[in-house]
Amino acid sequence: MPRYVDHDARRDLVAGVAADLVAEEGLEALTVRRVAQAAGHSTTVVSHYFADRRDLVTSTYRAAAARTSARFDAALAGARARGGDPLQACLEALLPLDDERSREWRTWFAFWAMAVSDIDLAAEQDRRVQSARARIAAVLADEQAAERVRLPADGSTADAAYRLLVLVHGLGTHAAFDAAHWTPQRQREAVAAELAALRPEGRQPSQTS
């Protein structure tokens, strides 16, 4: 059904453009008119893809989340191929270490602000967090099997993953407002310090990448 594939692909493309727009100018800029302008389409075309502004907001959020997930997977695959530290690499993929990711973090703030009073968007946000948590837990389980990670006897990979995600969100939030302090190097060191606590004793923490 190429027609539908084409429809979905275009819809994703427009949602990606919308995500950029939110990162640059905030959620207020996320209107059918502005998105149409930025995507080089007519408002009729954009209205055809998105039922209403709410649909546009949720789709934009998903587009931004999909980008982050893809970066996470790529970082993980890269670290494994290079013999790097998979945990450090995939957590760094989530942090605002460059312009693209700093822009992405501005998008999250915009969505969080909206999600606190929008139950559907809050559910979407929770799904995204649980998905990230499951991905990190899977890496933790692999690392544990390879004896490069040791969790406390009463600790699950799911809980440890959540702790790491709390660190990522804390760092991302602070880095957005105090980039002078939270340089990429300091963010990497904070992740490395947190991971060092999970290493089996006697094992040196991996170098930050």
Residue 59 interacting with a copy of itself (CB under 8 A): no
Residue 37 interacting with a copy of itself (CB under 8 A): no
Binds a copy of itself by CB under 8 A, chosen from 46, 93, 139, 168? 168
Residue 62 interacting with a copy of itself (CB under 8 A): no
- Nearer CB in complex with a copy of itself: 85/124: 124
Residue 171 interacting with a copy of itself (CB under 8 A): yes
Radius of gyration of the chain (CA): 19
Residue 82 beta carbon to a copy of itself: minimum distance, rounded to whole angstroms: 28
What letter represents residue 115's amino acid?
A
Binds a copy of itself by CB under 8 A, chosen from 36, 64, 97, 114? 114
Binds a copy of itself by CB under 8 A, chosen from 40, 117, 145, 153? 117
Residue 7 interacting with a copy of itself (CB under 8 A): no
Residue 11 interacting with a copy of itself (CB under 8 A): no
Residue 118 beta carbon to a copy of itself: minimum distance, rounded to whole angstroms: 9
Residue 38 interacting with a copy of itself (CB under 8 A): no
Which DSSP symbol is given to 200? P
Residue 166 interacting with a copy of itself (CB under 8 A): yes
Decide: helix, strand or coil at residue 179: coil
Q: What is the dihedral of CA 83, 101, 49, 128, to 10 degrees?
A: 70
Rounded to an integer, what distance in angstroms lies between the CA atom of residue 204 and that of residue 192?
11
Binds a copy of itself by CB under 8 A, chosen from 62, 67, 80, 106? 106
Using H for helix, E for strand and C for coil, what is the string for 132-164?
A: HHHHHHHHHHHHHHCCCCCCCCCCCHHHHHHHH
Residue from 201, 200, 136 nearest 163 by CA:
136
Binds a copy of itself by CB under 8 A, chosen from 74, 77, 120, 177? 177
Residue 31 beta carbon to a copy of itself: minimum distance, rounded to whole angstroms: 14
The beta-carbon contacts of 174-178 under 8 Å, at least 24 apart in sequence, are 175/95, 175/96, 175/102, 175/105, 176/96, 176/102, 176/105, 176/106, 176/109
Residue 114 beta carbon to a copy of itself: minimum distance, rounded to whole angstroms: 7
